[in-house]
Amino acid sequence: MKLLRYGETGTEKPGLLDQDGRIRDLSGEVADITGATLDEATLARLRALDPADLPLVEGNPRLGPCVGNIGKFLCIGLNYSDHAAETGSEIPEYPILFLKANSAICGPNDTVSLPRESRHADWEVELGVVIGKAGKYLSEAEALDHVAGYCIVNDVSERRFQSKLNGQWTKGKSCDTFGPVGPWLVTRDEIADPQKLGLTSDVNGRRMQDGNTGNMIFSVARIISHLSELMTLHPGDLIATGTPSGVGMAQKPSRVFLRAGDEMVMRIEGLGEQRQSVAQDG
């Protein structure tokens, strides 16, 4: 099942993507797609619906973040061995955790707007994991049972802000629009193995990243288990699980960074595609 949210920013409605790729309105079934509606009982009820009985949404509406009112936006750094190598970083002993401000969250096809002083903005395609059931001190064996579904995240990053502004990574990760999420939340039952997904990013039509989640240093289950040892994970929390090699700051012979007018396209096998144009604040 592919769940989504559509409409103008702040007034999105819940929807479902049918087998023909058309949006069906879920407003008569749930108020929104949030942590409050990602429990097993609600998902089972929605899964039992015949999409043909739901109102068809006409036209091509804007897609919002596929989950509303996201709780914690948790991000894992340096989680692919090839990405660690390209940045000259050591393989971490434990998952590296940073948080991205929720105000960075935007729709999958919304414009990414660079801050006024940004000259080193970068792209990162990542597998997003949305928690559906609260948990603490979870074993790896039970971790995936707490997942509602998966989505694409573009962890847009301003590298100078990240490393040179006398702070932690959060400064370079949390600018407005630096967290496109979606296009839809694919429920857990449709993804047989989250460690067997191809993921790519293209910038201006050029393939920059081409990886597979099987190359993660820490699996999704390991990440969830580790985080749950530190804090309770709640329904609606979003975990971005790291990016493969091919980011702009590691390009050779010269680093490549985003500029106004660029276009990014992020794809993950089974999870769809998101596409952003780049602008710069005046």
- From first to last of the 282 residues of the chain, give the pLDDT tens digit: 999 999 999 999 999 999 999 999 999 999 999 999 999 999 999 999 999 999 999 999 999 999 999 999 999 999 998 898 898 888 999 999 999 999 999 999 999 999 999 999 999 999 999 999 999 999 999 999 999 999 999 999 999 999 888 878 899 999 999 999 999 999 999 999 999 999 999 999 999 999 999 999 999 999 999 999 999 999 999 999 999 999 999 999 999 999 999 999 999 999 999 999 999 998
pLDDT of residue 78: 92
List the CATH code of the domain at 73-280. 3.90.850.10
pLDDT of residue 141: 98
pLDDT of residue 70: 98
CA 14 – CA 23 distance, rounded (Å): 10
pLDDT of residue 84: 87
From the number of C-beta atoms within 10 Å of its C-beta (0-12, 13-18, 19+), residue 93 rates as exposed
pLDDT of residue 262: 98
Domain with CATH 3.90.850.10 in the chain: 73-280
pLDDT of residue 282: 82
Listed in sequence order, the residues at least 6 apart from 119 whose beta carbon sits closer than 8 Å to its beta carbon are 160, 257
